Copies of this chain bind each other. A is one copy, B any other.
Amino acid sequence: MATERIEQIDGTLTIAETSELTGLSPSTLRYYERIGLIDGVERGPDGRRRYQAADLAWMAFLLRLRTTGMPIQGMLAFAELRRGGDATVRERLELLRRHQAQVRRKYEAVMRSLDAIDNKIAHYERLVEERDGESGREA
């Protein structure tokens, strides 16, 4: 009962807790750090990672980029600009704008295809109906 010590005094999180919160597996968190997507993660005196609120916010942003289909190379480019500080704000803005435009184009195509699929579904629905109708009228 007293072994439930999930919350940290200093408000930092273990890798397991961070994994839980972000949905990223511990392996993925380490992987992202290794390739430079996440950096500056602090360590406890035992050498273990201790994630801070700022790290979580950054991961949330990365997740949004990922959800919208940005490849890791793109996120990496953004992460590197971010390390460059205020001087890179304009470039970050441009990167995000390009991505935004790409996502919109992509999803317009997806929606066009989905419309076609919707039509196919409607077609199949008519087929199934006919079939049911026949078997009802027959015999």
Residues of A within 8 A of B (CB): 61, 63-65, 67-69, 86, 89-90, 92-93, 96-97, 99-100, 103-104, 107, 109-111, 113-114, 116-118, 120-121, 124-125, 127-128, 131
Contacts and interface: CB of A to CB of B under 8 A. Distances in A.
Q: How many copies does the complex hold?
A: 2
A131 B89 contact: yes
A67 B107 contact: no
A103 B128 CA distance: 23
A69 to B, nearest CB: 7
A69 B104 CA distance: 15
A61 B120 contact: yes
* Max chain B Cβ within 10 angstroms of own Cβ: one of A64, A92, A107, A125: A64
A121 B96 contact: yes
Contact of A64 (B64, B93, B117): B117
A123 to B, nearest CB: 9
A100 B117 contact: yes
Given A64-B116, A116-B64, A93 B121 contact: yes
